[in-house]
Amino acid sequence: MPGSVTSVFSEADEFGAALHEEGLLGLLVTAPGAFRARLTQVALHRIRLSAAEEYLPRIAFVAVPHGMILVSLANRRGPSPIWGWTEMQAGDMITLGPGQRVHTRTGGPCRWTAIRIPEGDFVRYGKALSGTGFDVPPVARWRAPLAALRELRQLHQTAVRMAEARSRALADVEAVHGLEQQLIHALIECLSAGPNEMETLAAGRHREILARLEDLPQAKRFWRITEISAALGVSERTLRICCEEQLGMGPTEYIRRGRMQLVHRALRKGNLDAASISAVARRYGFHNLGRFAANYRALFGELPSATLRRGLGQGMARLTSHRPPRRI
């Protein structure tokens, strides 16, 4: 069913929830500051389009939904997200096959656009338009013909602008069908020459190791690196190489930041039974409370007590707004 939504976010958790159906499983903000993001999502008959603008660096863990292909276009102006093993350049496209799991990160303010299309439709249209078999590798980078890429960008931008302007054209079945056909044709044309670079066996193995790191129960995140390496069946050196290569930081730092975010989330919810900051910190493996408070402030720009006060205030506001009116 065609439809669209444009949203503005001031919380990373809400931004991540909006992208959950598109395969986002985790989002870790990696620098202090006020979180801001804008996201437009457009659903046509078969394909789904997304366009986002983010302002803080982050690491995202993405699993492409079953039966779907994810295509990401490099930003024409400014930096693009880094997908696993490769940094996108202007004119690049990244494709991820169904079920592929990958970390993608940004180093600061960033814009990105993406297309999701069912694998069956893509293969069928690709064969019809090219006259030959048409497959997409699990993970690959493409350098599309300029004319085809320009047309694909323009069509994507047209759909996004229509959504942001709440155009009635997106409610017109024939108009939506025509736009979708043009998008599919332009996408096939962009990928018709074959990939420019495919993921190496080593890069694929590193990506899979980090995906299995995300599979570990949260309790295991409190283990030492030697224990985590043993649980993953890799050496400490290999784990460090994987993290530096695809996360931009070491495993200790990544795990610590993830646990710190869990504390931040618990305090921000403002649950009255979680009012003890020290109890929340210990729950997530922080036992040196002085060091914890300093690191927390460096990462989130405020002390844990300030986060808890805001959470409690928002909780009371929600209770007040939902309180039934008094009867006189």
CA neighbor of 97 nearest in space, from 62, 52, 48? 62
pLDDT of residue 117: 96
Q: What is the mean pLDDT of residues 153-171?
A: 85
Mean pLDDT score of the chain, rounded to an integer?
A: 87
Domain boundaries, the chain: 3-198, 218-319
Question: Where residue 319 falls among pLDDT bands split at 50, 70, 90?
Answer: very low
Give counts: helices (H), strands (E), the chain: 11, 13
If one compares 219 and 126, the residue with the highest pLDDT of the two is: 126
pLDDT of residue 54: 95
Closest CA to 79 of 109, 47, 115: 109
- 144 contacts 191 by C-beta, under 8 angstroms: yes
294 versus 132: which is more confidently predicted?
Answer: 294
Q: Give CA separation, 34 vs 11, 31, 54, 55, 312, in Å.
A: 8, 10, 11, 9, 19
Q: What are 82's strand-pairing partners?
A: 87, 105
% pLDDT > 70, the chain = 91
**CATH fold of 218-319:** Arc Repressor Mutant, subunit A (1.10.10)
Q: Which amino acid is at 248?
A: G
Structure confidence at residue 326 (pLDDT) = 44
Taking each helix axis from N to C terminus, what angle separates 251-269 and 236-246, rounded to the nearest 10 degrees? 60
Lowest-confidence pick of 125-129, 192-196, 220-224: 220-224
Residue 268, pLDDT score: 86
Q: Which of 10-14, 220-224, 305-309, 313-317 has the lowest mean pLDDT?
A: 313-317
For position 208, what pLDDT does the model report? 95
Q: Between these two residues, 79 and 19, which has the higher pLDDT value?
A: 19
d(CA 232, CA 236): 10
Quote the pTM value: 0.88
Instruction: Express each pLDDT in 31-58 by its tens digit.
Output: 988 899 999 999 998 999 999 999 999 9
The label of the residue with tokens 């997530």 reads 284
Strands (E), 34-109: 37-43, 48-54, 58-63, 68-73, 82-83, 86-87, 92-96, 101-106
Instruction: Give the single-character DSSP code of 61.
Output: E
Instruction: Write the pLDDT tens digit of every residue in 12-25.
Output: 999 999 999 999 99
pLDDT for 244-274, tens place per residue? 999 999 998 998 899 999 999 888 887 655 4
Topology (CATH level 3) of domain 3-198: Jelly Rolls (2.60.120)
Q: Which residue has the tokens 């699993």?
A: 63
